[in-house]
A and B are shown apart, each in its own frame.
Chain A
Amino acid sequence: MRNLASLLFAGGLAFLLMAVAAQLPFGHPPVLAGGEILAQAPQQVGAANIVTAVVLGYRGLDTLGEISILFAAATGIGLVLGRRRANAPRDPDAGTILRTGAALMFPLLLLVGFHIILHGHLTPGGGFQGGVILAAAFFLPLLARPGTPVNHPGLSLIEGVSGAIFILIGLIALFQGGEFLQPLLGTGTFGSLLSAGTLPILYLALGLKVGAELAGLLSRLADAEAN
C-alpha cells in the first residue's frame, strides 16, 4: 500500500513537472548574462573556450567553492574510513594483462591528462577532466598490484601547494586593484597556448589539485578492509 502511494506520488510529480516544462521556451532561451558574455568574452578574457572563460573568469568564485567542497569530501572519506589493520588480508595481484597494461598505460594517461589540462582554454577540456584522468593514471598501478605503498604525504603536499597557488593568484589579482580572481597578464594572441592571461596557470593548479585529491581518495577507498 505504501509502495502504491509512493508510485502515485511519483507519477503525479512527473505529470506536474511535464506540465511546467511545456510552458518553458525551449530553443529560444532568454539569454541575459549569457548573451553579454558571448559578446564580450573574446576581447576581455581572450580564451577560445567560452565555458572556461565563464568557469574561471566570470564565475571564478564558484570554482573556488567547488574546490573546497571536493576537499571536504575527500578529507571526510579519509577520516571516516580510518586506517587499515596491519595484519588484514590483502587482495592478490591481478593477472598478467592488467599488470602489463597498467605499466604501459601509465605514461599515456599522464600525457593525455596534462594535454587536456593545458589546452583547457582552447578546446573542450580543462582542469577537472584532466585531473580525473591523472587520478586514474595513478590509480591503475594500484589496481594491478594491491599493496603498493602510496605516498600519502606527497599527494597531500601536491594538493596543498596547488590549492595555495590558486588562491595566491586570486589574491594577487585582488591586491593589484581588481577583483578577486580576475584574470591578469593580458589576453595574448588568440588561439595560442599562452593566451588568456592567468587562465592556463589557474587550470594547471586546479588540475593538479583535483588529480592529487582524487588519487588519495581512491587509494584510501581501495585500502579499506574488505569484509
Chain B
Amino acid sequence: MIWLVSVIVILMLGSALAVLLLKNPIGAVAAASVVSLALSVLFVILRAPDVAMTEAAVGGGLGSLILALSLRRLGLWHVEGEDRKRLTRKETRDA
C-alpha cells in the first residue's frame, strides 16, 4: 500500500512542479487537472469518498473548465508554430 501511495504522491508533486515550470499555459492547466485527479485518488485511499467526489468534480472538472475557458479570453491560447497575428476564425475551427 505504501508503494501505491508513494507513486501517487510523486506524480502529484511532479505535476505541481510542472504547473510552475512549463512554458505553455495550456500545459500548465493540464498539469493542474492532473494534480486534482491524483489528489482525489489520495482522498479515496484516505477513506474520504465524499471529499474525493467533490475534489474530482469541482477541482478537476469545474476548475479546469474555468481555467481553460479563461485561457482564450486572456490571449494565452497560442497554437504552436503559428504566427500570432493570424489567429483568425479559420484557426479557431481547428482548436
Contact = CB atoms under 8 A, between A and B. Distances in A.
Contact of B49 (A124, A128, A214, A224): A124
Query: From DSSP, what is the main secondary structure of chain A's interface residues?
Result: helix
B74 to A, nearest CB: 8
B58 A136 contact: no
B61 interface: yes
- Categorize the interface residue count of chain A: 20 to 34
A132 B57 contact: yes
B62 A225 contact: no
Interface stretch (B3-11, B21-29, B30-38, B64-72): B64-72
Interface string B72-95: 111100000000000001001100
Given A91-B92, A124-B53, A132 B69 contact: no
A52 B92 CA distance: 44
Interface residues of B, number: 20
Given A225-B73, A226-B72, A136 B53 contact: no
Interface in A88-141: 89, 91-92, 116, 124-126, 128-129, 132-133, 135-136, 139
Contacts of A91: 92
Contacts of B66: 217-218, 221
Interface of B: 49-50, 52-54, 57-58, 61-62, 65-66, 69-70, 72-75, 89, 92-93
List the 9 closest A-B pairs by CB distance, nearest first: A124-B49, A132-B57, A124-B50, A51-B50, A226-B72, A221-B69, A129-B53, A129-B57, A227-B75
